[in-house]
Amino acid sequence: MDNWKITAEELIRLRESCLQCIRDGELYELRNDAKLRAVYSTQNYEEFKNIVDAAHLRPVTKGDKANFKTKNRLWNSAARD
């Protein structure tokens, strides 16, 4: 029966795997909702794709800009590429 003991490392990996599945599911739902909205509101595929690709983004608030921890963050990471 000792072969059935679960180690702390296995529990950590299992937890991370479960959390990743939850995050993946949430992203899927966000993107799917964006697709359903974009089907009726876009004129071409490029607009459609942009809406779906940006589905997970949230607007930057004044609080985010003023927060000490996030004040110096590079808000547009694509700009440095």
Give 24-72 pLDDT, tens digit per residue. Answer: 999 999 999 999 999 999 999 999 999 999 998 888 777 777 776 766 6
d(CA 23, CA 15): 12
Domains identified in the chain, total number = 1
Q: How confident is the model at residue 81 (pLDDT cuts 50, 70, 90)?
A: very low
H-only helix segments in the chain? 8-41, 45-53, 62-66
**What residues make up the domain containing 68?**
8-79
pLDDT of residue 61: 79
pLDDT of residue 45: 94
pTM, 2 dp: 0.64
